[in-house]
Amino acid sequence: MSRLDGGVTSIEILSCFDNIGIDMNINKTFPKILIKQRLKFKLYTKVADARKTNGDIPLDCDILFVCIGQRPYTKDLGLDSVGIKLNQLGRIEVDKNFQGTRKDIYIISDCIQGSM
């Protein structure tokens, strides 16, 4: 993250664990450290929409950093019925263009190996 001149705003979703009684020490300590580095946090907030446009946007940003789940959720998606094969870990194998065994379908998300 670049901290030169502009600010960085983090929309933090760990706060949802507060509602179910999980003590998230990192949830309280880590933001304090980052605030000292001029980062801003939007707590108890979710991203409702993300698009590049010149219209009304409540939070303008240059970069949208998306963190997705760590496990592939490919079960019961019917991927085999459209010819998409899974590897031993349940992930979809893709090439450098994010195409799997079907070249007319592009695949991103936690269903593939690596970061999004």
Count of alpha carbons within 13 angstroms of residue 41, beta-carbon side: 17
Rounded Cα distance, 68 and 77, in Å = 18
Domain extent listing, the chain? 1-67, 72-116
Task: Tell me the pLDDT band of 76, cut-offs 50, 70 and 90.
Answer: confident
**Top-confidence residue, 9 or 62:** 62
Check residues 7 and 73 and name the one with the higher pLDDT: 73
Is residue 70 scored above 80 in pLDDT? no
Residues whose CB falls within 8 Å of the CB of residue 41, separated by 6 or more in sequence, listed in order: 9, 10, 11, 12, 31, 34, 35
